[in-house]
Chains A and B, each alone.
Chain A
């Protein structure tokens, strides 16, 4: 039946047209990122939990909506922001006095005064506030407004790195003070003094900002700033390629695919974001200094950087990156398998029949955990196990959620990550001081070295830069002698963006690089290219 075939065909065509019609009833995108230089649209992987500084938003600066008392420039030097100059520190290092900028207003028009500063810090430190980062302000004993434009911090102990913490954004007491800090509207509708004002936050989709025309530092030239939340790396790359985004954070492998694109720039931000293996003192194998040193020499860090990070990173010998001004020259350890074997031989770890060493009946083996789903850590863990096996140490790699890993921290190794570039105290003290052994996620190796403890305290308390530098050199040298962690790599964060603005740069980024970091850390200072 010919007519029937024709009708069947017609039905098929109708259906196909319907299908396509649903998809094609529109003109090509007029494009949010179409080419205007006064607007910027970027793709980020994760949206913030909150936009309230009281719960931890923007604690490391660059919060767009807010300003801290201080801020950091491209070279990570502290500069005044809401303060008029760097703080005045008392002789004993326990009193910090900030003179505040006058005439600054929040985006709702209310004036910024010392009361807002006091409110912000006191609220964060309040027991009822669910701010998981409050430990960073542990040193603060009290905050007081001496007058309308002067704030005085009293510290529990002399703390040289304290000024670095005051990049913390200042919230408006007028608005936030009237709400529940933990679930009030301030979390989604923040009011700040910063260069941008939040216009819309559609959770799961994007955050939109517009320039604050009355910004005390001058109105930004990029007048519209949008951060789209795109969790999947491939989707983000696709949207960048389609012109929907002006820039995005991408893993190095994906970033490389843009290298030949005209008009796109790839930026690799240096970071202090390290990956390291904890070597618990409570384990007879990982607690042994000879084993620790052998592990340290047996790992091939250069190879990890090449294969796991596609070259976007650096070998790590401690939390302090090798290109930091605080790095102790000469503490680099080269890949030296023979040296590792020699150390183990001399310490009495003899190879058994299966090639795994043993000493006094104790086999040289331990378990290494990595958090499930974290591919970078998984690859580091597997490469680590491979490398050290060649020296005769058997590492069993396992994955689990932190809930599974937690109770095992005292005995088993874990692939940890962290890093805060602002001051060496932030990483070193928590990782290495014996008083913080196995306290939450601090010092997970239960590292205990009196010389290190002493140097850490000196570095924390001394106000003298040279003295601090000497102290942290000591810490790093001691760590090289008894490496309680095997530090593996520092990971660069890679970004791709349209090359249409001047003033684009990257800062040294921390492990926890929220939306404040990336090339757009200082978007308020960008100028369109001619």
Chain B
């Protein structure tokens, strides 16, 4: 285990319970004169949006004024998402109405990108709308590291995923695409980034200075490309991550995860090209890094996975002799 990695994991990984003192957090926010905007990107989320708005408005605006605005940015829902969100006091926008000269592309990344223009916060916190067990920690747990640590720019959420329990062992907290695609890719090309436990989580808080300077894939690749771009431009120290405990959400089919992986691979290889990695592959890393969770301790596990190779059997003298290939 490299020394640097352990340090980052130790200093930049948080648990939401460290930030329970909201009065103190707000005092610090006000001292720094920060404005904080919440953006919830939506597409047909009528089942869960109402609860999210109620909880965030009550707890983080009325009771504890941490948020300066709550905005729903929608890609064109055909259900009652916007009506419900507006009825509980959220600001609602159609993505297509923001920056109309730039056109409209349907995709979550589009909504996140347009939020930068529409919202006023110095910090924007993005929270997906499909969370069934919503709680104020989903916002303050991500915002707090930015308020308390000036050097941190980009805070990702990670979770215990209750829907991943079917195999009996408690996994590191990543979803299927993270464990099968992203973590192996990172372990091979960007070993340092394997420290980010859930690179694909849809909840993160970011400073405006960073958001305005990175591109946004509008589809599945947005989280992956953010991580690569922020890493290249600001380094590992810019990241923070917060354990938000459980997140209950809809499970996706394997087919849709395949589509997601395809989109992510596109973004990944775009980055590889941009950063000059495509034609000069680094020495293949044979150490696979992943995580084991025990209570609230996240332990980096390193395993050597060496894919050794055998030549074609027809090159082996004993074989040639036995089957008379040299006659």
Is A bound to B? no
Q: Taking beta carbons and an 8 Å cutoff, which residues of B are in contact with A?
A: none
